[in-house]
Each structure stands twice: as structure tokens, then as C-alpha cells.
A = this chain, B = another copy of it.
């Protein structure tokens, strides 16, 4: 992996141009097309999801609807991905794992709050917001709890608001992968047709596209090493 904190914006762009030459123009065009639809304005937090097919289906929905970041809290359950369901989607997302021994819910959620996210807990309760009424002006993190017990009290206590999908049947609950997809489809659609600046900035786009290129190129670490060596030499000559 490239440590983006240690290289300048200009170096990033030179690295990107170099890596671009290792993939087909069609591939690179696909990257740009997907990238321009990616957002961090909306993100999701999965608290202790334990069924791999659910976890994987959620990642696939994130990719499909342009959600770049997924925050994964592992308190008791290790988050595992089922490749048949995820279809490789996790490769194109930024997964942030919170898996210190003990409870990680508070540290994850407080970090998101510091970064300006409004925390919205998804719950079956009917007195909250709905995918239609959730205000989207502020950056928003949707919180999902475990399959059986839902979100922990710690997560509910830190939530700024609650959201549910209105239902009218006997079975008033949906599988987590289905409910996540409904939220993401609705909210990302509302975001895209709004005037809210939901797109990634240039620096974010550069970092992501470099990461995608590195994952698509054989022996990319050798190319990067060579590039960084040349950069250092170039700088010492200057």
C-alpha cells in the first residue's frame, strides 16, 4: 500500500499517470466513471454483523450505489465476507475495521462524529425518520446492528436520529442486506438529484484511483517501489 500522507499531491498525480499506462484505456475509463459517482457524504457502520452472506451483500450494495466507505465494528463477531455474494465488491471500497479487544462501538462512532457525521440508527421502531424524510445536508452515517439483537445500547445512545423503512405487512422486519439496500438506493438517489456537494474531492479521487490501479496491476508493489526510488533521486538532484 502507498502511504498517501507522505507524498505530495503532485507526486500522487505522477504515480497515477504511471500506473494508468499498465491498464487498458477501457479499464481506466471505467475507473473514472465509477469514481465520479462515489461519495463519502453517506457512509455506513455495521456493528457486529455475523452472517457472511449478509455482510457481503451489504458491501455489494455499497459498490452498486456508490458508497465508498464502510465502517465495520467487530466486538464479538469477526466480519467475514462471502466471495460468492460480494462478487469482489469489497476490493473497490474503503473498509475501516474497529477490532480492538473489548468494545469498539464508542470509539468508531465518536471518530465519525468528530469528522462531521450525523449518526442515524436504523431500527424497526416506527417513530423515526424514513428514507423519504431523512435530511441529507449534513454528512450522514447509517448504523446497522446485528441480525438478531439490532444495535447495542451504546450505539443507540450515541445516535443523533433514528430511521426505519415503513412497512404494512404481518412480517414487519426485513433481512439486513435487504434493508441496507433499500436505504442506500433511496438515499443515494436523493443525494444525486440534490444540490448537495456529495462528490469526492480531487485528493480523495487521486488516492482511490491509485489504490484501484494498484489492485489491478500484477506486481504493482515493485512498480511503486521503483517509482518512489526515482522520485527520491529526482528530488535530490533538484
Contact = CB atoms under 8 A, between A and B. Distances in A.
B57 A171 contact: no
A189 interface: yes
B169 A57 contact: no
A175 interface: yes
A200 interface: no
A228 B21 CA distance: 81
A172 interface: yes
A171 B132 contact: no
B65 A171 contact: no
A162 interface: no
Contacts of A224: none
B66 A170 contact: no
A205 B171 CA distance: 19
A178 interface: yes
A15 interface: no
A46 interface: no
A169 B85 CA distance: 15
Contact of A63 (B61, B66, B169): B169
A171 B64 CA distance: 6
A81 interface: no
B64 A172 contact: yes
A165 B185 contact: yes
Contacts of A178: 57, 61, 177-178, 181
A65 B181 contact: no
Nearest to A175: B57
A182 interface: yes
A186 to B, nearest CB: 8
A89 interface: yes
A57 B57 CA distance: 13
